């Protein structure tokens, strides 16, 4: 007697034409009602909108201001708001460049650079063999918040379990070519985290003009030059011993150039 195969969603036997085969049963299938799926998607959408609004207060304020200006004045309203905001930014950049760079330009540049790196992150990590395969899943290191200057980017990275900073240091050249930068350095931050320093432009390639001499210098943080990321090189002079070395022959070269300039003058003025 041939056993007929059952069909249905709750109990089902795998259809097998062999009458002597051992029955193979599969788990029951339960269909989720459509209204539950719709409610879950709606909740996810509302949560995403609220999260975006909470994380971007400045953008929310600008959008509300533009909408209010459009409702009250028509199309000239948003144009006037944009012009006023542009004027405020220009004055802010001109009068207080330090705070403008710290609060406005650098955060915007960091978000832009993070978007750029996130586009190539998976491909570069995979090709550089920094994304291990575990139980059939590709595990990617997590990219954090990017801090950018005119010359460098600092990328905090959360490592995959079992990785170390040496794994990235050995692939520094691959990362530099993959992200299209001049140089990649790897810094250890804390257990499980590293910082990738990516140099986009060489801040020391061109001659740096002499820094202005302050009237009241701060000996705890005296500016003496520029760092590789373009920021000031501050040296603590007060309460410590400092040795700053220069290029060999730099003093002699300056003396020779000064003597050549004097050769075109009279000897009395030259040796005065």
Domain CATH for 143: 3.30.980.40
Angle at 270 between CA 267 and CA 271, to 5 degrees: 90
Residues 113-162: tens digit of each pLDDT: 899 999 999 999 999 999 998 888 889 999 999 988 888 899 999 999 88
In a domain, 47, yes or no: no
187 plus 149 within the same structural domain:
yes
Tell me, yes or no, whether 180 and 235 share the same domain: no
Pair (193, 237) in one structural domain: no
Residue 14 phi/psi, 5-degree rounding, is -65, 125
Asked if pLDDT for residue 177 goes beyond 60, the answer is yes
Based on the fold, state whether residues 132 and 185 are members of the same structural domain.
Answer: yes
Is the pLDDT at 238 greater than 80? The verdict is no
Task: Kindly state the percentage of the chain with pLDDT values over 70.
Answer: 78
Both 189 and 232 in one domain: the answer is: no
Q: Nearest to residue 156, comparing CAs of 175, 172, 174, 142?
A: 142
> Does residue 193 lie in a domain region?
yes
Q: Would you say residue 82 lies in a domain? A: no
Q: Is the pLDDT of residue 267 over 50?
A: no
Is residue 103 a part of any domain in this protein? no
Q: Verify that 215 and 234 share a domain, yes or no.
A: yes
Q: For 36-57, how does the pLDDT look when each residue is reduced to its tens digit (9 = 90+)? A: 999 999 999 999 988 888 887 7
Q: What is the pTM of this model?
A: 0.61
Mean pLDDT value of segment 90-109: 83
Residue 3 structure tokens: 């056993």
Least confident of 64-78, 129-143, 167-181, 247-261: 247-261
pLDDT band at 272 (very low <50, low <70, confident <90, very high): very low
The model's pLDDT over 67-94, given as tens digits with 9 standing for 90+, comes to 888 888 787 888 888 888 888 888 888 8
The two beta strands, 142-143 and 137-138, are unpaired
Structure tokens at 43: 């909740």
Q: Please check whether residues 193 and 220 belong to one and the same domain.
A: no
Structure tokens at 179: 């992200």
The verdict on 169 and 232 lying in the same domain is no
Distance of CA 174 to the CA centre of its chain: 18
Does 108 map to a domain? no
Structure tokens at 185: 């350095």
Which residues constitute the domain of residue 231?
A: 208-243
Say if residue 270's pLDDT is above 80. Answer: no
Q: Is residue 25 part of a domain?
A: no
**How many distinct structural domains can be found in the chain?**
2
Whole-angstrom Cα distance, residue 237 to residue 243? 10
Q: Are residues 166 and 216 in the same domain?
A: no
Q: Tell me the C-alpha distance between 87 and 216, whole Å.
A: 33
CA pseudo-torsion sign 181, 187, 189, 190: positive
């Amino acid at each position: 007697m041939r056993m007929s195969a059952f069909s249905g969603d709750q109990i089902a036997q795998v259809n097998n034409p062999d009458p002597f085969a051992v029955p193979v049963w599969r788990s029951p299938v339960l269909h989720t009602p459509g209204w539950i799926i719709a409610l879950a998607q709606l909740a996810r959408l509302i949560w995403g909108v609220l999260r975006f609004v909470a994380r971007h207060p400045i953008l929310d304020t600008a959008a509300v201001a533009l909408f209010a200006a459009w409702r009250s004045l028509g199309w000239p309203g948003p144009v006037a708001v944009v012009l006023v905001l542009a004027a405020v930014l220009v004055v802010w950049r001109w009068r207080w460049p330090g705070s403008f760079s710290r609060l406005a330009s650098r955060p915007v540049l960091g978000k832009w650079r993070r978007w750029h790196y996130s586009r190539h992150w998976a491909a570069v990590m995979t090709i550089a063999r920094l994304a291990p395969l575990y139980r059939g899943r590709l595990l990617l290191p997590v990219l954090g918040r990017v801090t950018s200057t005119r010359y460098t980017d600092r990328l905090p990275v959360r490592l995959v379990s079992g990785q170390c900073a040496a794994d990235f240091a050995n692939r520094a050249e691959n990362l530099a070519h993959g992200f299209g930068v001049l140089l990649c350095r790897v810094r250890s931050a804390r257990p499980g985290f590293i910082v990738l320093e990516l140099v986009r432009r060489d801040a020391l390639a061109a001659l740096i003009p002499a820094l202005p001499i302050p009237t009241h210098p701060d000996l705890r943080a005296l500016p003496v030059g520029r760092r590789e990321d373009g920021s000031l090189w501050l040296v603590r002079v007060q309460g410590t011993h400092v040795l700053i070395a220069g290029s060999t022959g730099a003093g002699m070269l300056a003396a020779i150039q000064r003597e050549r300039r004097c050769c075109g003058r009279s000897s009395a003025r030259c040796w005065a």
